[in-house]
Amino acid sequence: MNLHFLALGLWCCAVGGPALLAGERDLKVLNDRDTVLSLGYWIYNDLPQGFAEAKRTGKPLLVVLRCIP
Mean pLDDT of 53-64: 93
Element (H, E) at 11: helix 2-39
Cα 68 to Cα 26, 41, 65, distances in angstroms: 8, 22, 10
pLDDT reported for residue 42: 80
Element (H, E) at 57: helix 47-57
What's the chain's average pLDDT? 76
Report domain extents, the chain.
Answer: 2-57
Which SS3 state, helix, strand or coil, does residue 44 take? Answer: coil
pLDDT beyond 90 at 25: no
pLDDT reported for residue 49: 93
Specify whether the CB–CB gap between 51 and 61 falls below 8 A.
yes
Model-wide pTM > 0.85: no
pLDDT beyond 60 at 21: no
